[in-house]
Protein backbone atom coordinates (compact mmCIF):
# COMPACT_ATOMS: atom_id res chain seq x y z
CA UNK A 1 0.00 0.00 0.00
CA UNK A 2 1.37 3.43 -0.95
CA UNK A 3 2.89 5.20 2.00
CA UNK A 4 2.15 8.74 3.15
CA UNK A 5 4.84 10.74 4.98
CA UNK A 6 3.37 11.95 8.27
CA UNK A 7 -0.03 13.09 6.99
CA UNK A 8 -2.32 11.02 4.73
CA UNK A 9 -4.62 12.54 2.12
CA UNK A 10 -7.57 11.34 4.18
CA UNK A 11 -6.26 13.25 7.20
CA UNK A 12 -5.54 16.34 5.12
CA UNK A 13 -9.12 16.31 3.85
CA UNK A 14 -10.44 16.10 7.40
CA UNK A 15 -8.22 19.04 8.44
CA UNK A 16 -9.42 21.10 5.48
CA UNK A 17 -13.06 20.30 6.24
CA UNK A 18 -12.65 21.58 9.81
CA UNK A 19 -10.91 24.73 8.56
CA UNK A 20 -13.72 25.38 6.07
CA UNK A 21 -16.32 25.01 8.82
CA UNK A 22 -14.53 27.66 10.89
CA UNK A 23 -14.10 29.92 7.84
CA UNK A 24 -17.82 29.65 7.11
CA UNK A 25 -18.59 30.41 10.74
CA UNK A 26 -16.59 33.65 10.65
CA UNK A 27 -17.89 34.37 7.15
CA UNK A 28 -14.48 34.73 5.48
CA UNK A 29 -13.63 32.57 2.43
CA UNK A 30 -10.12 31.14 2.73
CA UNK A 31 -7.32 29.39 0.88
CA UNK A 32 -6.33 26.25 2.81
CA UNK A 33 -3.18 24.16 2.35
CA UNK A 34 -1.81 21.09 4.13
CA UNK A 35 1.79 19.84 3.84
CA UNK A 36 3.27 16.59 5.10
CA UNK A 37 6.35 15.77 7.19
CA UNK A 38 8.63 16.50 4.21
CA UNK A 39 6.99 19.94 3.85
CA UNK A 40 5.44 18.86 0.54
CA UNK A 41 1.83 19.72 -0.40
CA UNK A 42 -0.81 17.07 0.28
CA UNK A 43 -4.03 18.98 -0.40
CA UNK A 44 -5.28 22.49 -1.14
CA UNK A 45 -8.69 24.12 -1.45
CA UNK A 46 -9.72 27.66 -2.35
CA UNK A 47 -13.19 28.50 -1.10
CA UNK A 48 -15.38 30.35 -3.61
CA UNK A 49 -14.53 34.05 -3.58
CA UNK A 50 -11.27 33.69 -1.61
CA UNK A 51 -8.33 35.89 -2.64
CA UNK A 52 -6.39 34.70 -5.68
CA UNK A 53 -3.15 36.13 -4.26
CA UNK A 54 -3.54 33.89 -1.25
CA UNK A 55 -3.31 30.63 -3.22
CA UNK A 56 0.45 31.02 -3.03
CA UNK A 57 0.55 32.43 0.49
CA UNK A 58 -1.49 29.62 2.07
CA UNK A 59 0.86 27.02 0.59
CA UNK A 60 3.93 28.94 1.71
CA UNK A 61 2.60 29.42 5.24
CA UNK A 62 2.13 25.66 5.49
CA UNK A 63 5.65 25.09 4.16
CA UNK A 64 7.13 27.63 6.58
CA UNK A 65 5.33 26.23 9.60
CA UNK A 66 6.67 22.71 8.97
CA UNK A 67 10.09 24.01 7.85
CA UNK A 68 10.68 25.61 11.24
CA UNK A 69 8.23 23.59 13.37
CA UNK A 70 6.37 26.63 14.69
CA UNK A 71 3.48 29.00 14.10
CA UNK A 72 4.32 31.51 11.35
CA UNK A 73 2.87 34.07 13.75
CA UNK A 74 5.67 33.35 16.23
CA UNK A 75 8.26 33.38 13.48
CA UNK A 76 6.90 36.75 12.40
CA UNK A 77 7.39 38.22 15.84
CA UNK A 78 11.04 37.11 15.75
CA UNK A 79 11.56 38.42 12.22
CA UNK A 80 10.77 42.10 12.63
CA UNK A 81 13.58 44.63 12.21
CA UNK A 82 15.86 44.42 15.24
CA UNK A 83 14.83 40.87 16.16
CA UNK A 84 16.88 37.68 15.85
CA UNK A 85 15.46 36.29 12.60
CA UNK A 86 15.04 39.55 10.65
CA UNK A 87 15.83 38.75 7.02
CA UNK A 88 14.68 35.10 7.14
CA UNK A 89 11.98 35.92 4.56
CA UNK A 90 14.77 36.18 1.95
CA UNK A 91 15.66 32.50 2.42
CA UNK A 92 14.25 29.36 0.80
CA UNK A 93 13.68 31.11 -2.53
CA UNK A 94 10.81 33.23 -1.30
CA UNK A 95 8.89 30.40 0.33
CA UNK A 96 9.10 31.75 3.90
CA UNK A 97 6.00 33.60 5.12
CA UNK A 98 6.38 35.55 8.36
CA UNK A 99 2.83 36.43 9.33
CA UNK A 100 0.02 34.57 11.07
CA UNK A 101 -1.82 31.62 9.52
CA UNK A 102 0.65 28.71 9.46
CA UNK A 103 0.31 26.16 12.27
CA UNK A 104 2.16 22.83 12.78
CA UNK A 105 0.31 19.52 12.84
CA UNK A 106 1.47 17.36 15.74
CA UNK A 107 1.22 13.64 16.46
CA UNK A 108 2.35 12.48 19.90
CA UNK A 109 3.98 15.87 20.42
CA UNK A 110 6.03 15.68 17.23
CA UNK A 111 5.53 17.90 14.16
CA UNK A 112 4.53 15.75 11.17
CA UNK A 113 3.11 18.42 8.86
CA UNK A 114 1.43 21.82 8.85
CA UNK A 115 -1.63 23.79 7.76
CA UNK A 116 -1.49 27.18 6.08
CA UNK A 117 -4.43 29.60 5.81
CA UNK A 118 -4.67 32.83 3.83
CA UNK A 119 -7.60 34.99 2.84
CA UNK A 120 -8.45 37.25 5.76
CA UNK A 121 -6.85 39.29 8.51
CA UNK A 122 -3.99 37.80 10.53
CA UNK A 123 -6.37 37.04 13.37
CA UNK A 124 -8.86 35.34 11.05
CA UNK A 125 -6.18 33.29 9.30
CA UNK A 126 -4.77 32.15 12.65
CA UNK A 127 -8.21 31.23 13.99
CA UNK A 128 -9.00 29.07 10.98
CA UNK A 129 -5.56 27.43 10.98
CA UNK A 130 -5.92 26.51 14.63
CA UNK A 131 -9.35 24.99 13.96
CA UNK A 132 -7.81 22.84 11.23
CA UNK A 133 -4.87 21.78 13.39
CA UNK A 134 -7.21 20.93 16.27
CA UNK A 135 -9.12 18.52 14.04
CA UNK A 136 -5.87 16.66 13.33
CA UNK A 137 -4.88 16.49 16.98
CA UNK A 138 -8.12 14.67 17.82
Neighbour tally for 105: CB within 10 Å: 27
Compute the least distance from the CB of residue 41 to a copy of itself, in Å. Answer: 5
Among 19, 57, 105, 135, binds a copy of itself (CB under 8 A): 57
Please name the residues in contact with 49: beta carbons below 8 A apart, sequence gap of 6 or more. 29
Smallest distance from a copy of itself to CB 59, Å:
9
Q: Which is nearer to a copy of itself, 21 or 94 (CB)?
A: 94
In the list 40, 74, 106, 134, the residue contacting a copy of itself (rule: CB under 8 A) is 40
CB contact at 8 A, 77 and 64: no
Task: Residue 11: name the closest of 48, 50, 37 by CA.
Answer: 37
Out of 15, 19, 62, 96, which residue is the one contacting a copy of itself (CB under 8 A)?
A: 96
Nearer to a copy of itself, 21 or 53 (CB): 53
Amino acid sequence: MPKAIGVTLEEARRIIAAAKDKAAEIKQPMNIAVVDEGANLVAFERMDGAWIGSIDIAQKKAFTSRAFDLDTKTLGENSQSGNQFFGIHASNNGKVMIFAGGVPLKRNGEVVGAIGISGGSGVQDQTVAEAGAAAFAK
